[in-house]
Structure 1
Amino acid sequence: MTRTEHAYLNDTFLFEHNGSKVVNVSRSENEPKQSVVLLNSTIFHPQGGGQPSDVGIISDGQTTFKVLKAIKSGEQVQHLGTFEPEDSTFEENAIVHQTVDKDSRLQNASLHSAGHLIDFAVKLIGFDKWTSSKGYHFPQSPYVEYNHNGQYTKESEIVETLNVELDKLLKKNENVKVEMVPYDKWTEIPSYLPAGEPVRTINYGGICGACSGTHVNTFGQIGSKITIKSAKKKGAVVRVSYKVE
């Protein structure tokens, strides 16, 4: 099985790429009207980690493949979509040009990065017992969840304090640090990351973790404002809902 090189890991702001090779084209098992295109390298971020996939087009100069969704399957990234013309296809080993929808990519990266910045803000306001458990960074009602481990005050106080802290962080506009760490030098590696390969770590103000999503380069690139809408406790979990402007 040919492993897909994940070129999007190197640069969130890479929207076009030329020179990838077609590995295989097949019909989708779940969507009969759609095809699955495999490439030796891709700039399309697959859905995962609470983040939606990129969309866009792949073209060999004559035939266009509209990428409706990208998903990860083992070591491969599958591009699901439709050919134009409908009865066309790519030949194996064809060299193609990839174009990611810029607006969608930047929105996804912004919402995802906002979730990481909220992690940092949570620690800064003193909720050091909170541990991340889930993130949903889709445009429809994004949120992050934490195990509160018994540390919780009034919701209104948490919301107000977080909003003040996030405003400060956006104005400071610090850099987001990305580093590839040797596999044997990193602990708590997520199970979905390839064993033995360097681990991509993301650092927001000292909150560092393994992550394969798309990220902005500075806090300020997230947007002009992150607003915490609610911080509702349900059992052992706190769900912090937010929006980015």
Structure 2
Amino acid sequence: MFPLTQRTVPLYQKEGQLCRHTSQITSIHPLSCLPEDARALFKPPPDSTSYVLTTPSTIFHAQGGGQPSDTGIIKSKDATFHVHQVRKNEPALLHMGVFDGGNARFQDGEEVEQSINVEKRRLHSRIHTAGHVIGLAINVLVREARLPSNIVDGKASHYPGSAFVEFLGLIPGTAKADIQAKVDELVSQDLDVKIHFWTEAKARTDCTGVLESFKSDEDGVRVVEIGDVGSYPCGGTHVLNLSECGKVVVRGVKRQKGVSKVSYEVQDT
């Protein structure tokens, strides 16, 4: 039986700048051998034999919280495994990918080196942090009475090319320029981006925006805080300061059924 009960420590939660890591292989199986519910988590590449492996700890961010998973390579002295997707199957994190040609494979317990695609991680981190900057900018405009007082943070997606932040309440389309100006102001201050682990009570009272459900574990609630402007519960990866985001561009504001969607992108400067 595929061991889905052994916890994988997500090192990226506390060491988001770590791009290489040595671990052991806990298990490795062809994707086709997984239980149906676990197989359904993946979209394997065509015309190849995909495997899923687990490790006691990983630097590969698993898809979730609106952020795509990392990709990269896991290598031993004899084999190279290309990680295509990483998914959560609590408490395990599953790495799906393919081996280079040949018959070399990993063995259970074998020591391997994990290496993430640094450029892709950097882009995902920039986009994710930028989404929080937009959320904070809109909250500041609400406090300044430049946006309606009933605007409340909602869900978000931080995928390249389709990133957005949603809010309950109607943001006027004419507010786009004000939102962009406030975002530019925050980014220009090059505020620090810090990760904390708070109690659930502190997160609910002190965070700028809190959805009804968020994850809390033995470390508490993971929170990203941007300067002294505000904070959000968040499990994603982030830059260390706002200048690393580059130019954060508000692309548009759409309103439908009482929900406002603010789309955005990041650009190199």
Determine what percentage of the aligned residue pairs are the same residue. Answer: 28
Determine whether 1:170 maps to 2:193: no
Q: Secondary structure at the match of 2:155?
A: strand
The root-mean-square deviation of aligned C-alpha atoms, in Å, is: 1.9
Alpha-carbon distance in structure 2 between the residues aligned to 1:175 and 1:70: 28
Determine whether 1:141 maps to 2:162: yes
Counterpart position of 2:229: 206
Residues 210-232 of structure 1 show CA distances to partners (whole Å, capped at 9, x for unaligned) of 21100111111111x11111111
Name stretches of at least 5 consecutive residues in structure 2 with no aligned partner.
33-38, 205-209
Of 126-135 and 182-191, deviating more is 182-191
Give the superposition deviation at 1:86. 4.6
Out of 45, 54, 61, the residue aligned to residue 45 of structure 1 is: 61
Alpha-carbon distance in structure 2 between the residues aligned to 1:41 and 1:190: 29
Residues 124-162 of structure 1 show CA distances to partners (whole Å, capped at 9, x for unaligned) of 1224532222211111221111111xx533x0x211001
Alpha-carbon distance in structure 2 between the residues aligned to 1:194 and 1:201: 10
Give the superposition deviation at 1:8. 0.8
Q: Secondary structure at the match of 1:125?
A: helix
Give the superposition deviation at 1:63. 0.6
Counterpart position of 2:20: 16
Give the superposition deviation at 1:193. 2.7
Does structure 1 conserve the Cα–Cα contact (< 8 Å) formed by 2:161 and 2:265?
A: no
Letter aligned with residue 229 of structure 2: G
Letter aligned with residue 108 of structure 2: E
Letter aligned with residue 265 of structure 2: K
Give the strand-richer structure, 1 or 2. 1
Alpha-carbon distance in structure 2 between the residues aligned to 1:183 and 1:141: 31
Alpha-carbon distance in structure 2 between the residues aligned to 1:85 and 1:190: 47
Give structure 1 regions of 4+ aligned residues with deviation exceeding 3 angstroms: 29-32, 182-192, 194-197
Alpha-carbon distance in structure 1 between the residues aligned to 2:197 and 2:10: 14
Name stretches of at least 5 consecutive residues in structure 1 with no aligned partner.
none
State how 1:42-121 maps to structure 2 within 5 Å: 42-121=58-137
Does structure 2 conserve the Cα–Cα contact (< 8 Å) formed by 1:190 and 1:210?
A: no
Counterpart position of 2:178: 161
Counterpart position of 1:125: 141
Alpha-carbon distance in structure 2 between the residues aligned to 1:193 and 1:92: 31
Out of 243, 247, 261, the residue aligned to residue 220 of structure 1 is: 243
Of 125-134 and 38-47, deviating more is 125-134
Letter aligned with residue 76 of structure 1: A
Does structure 2 conserve the Cα–Cα contact (< 8 Å) formed by 1:119 and 1:207?
A: no
Letter aligned with residue 119 of structure 2: D
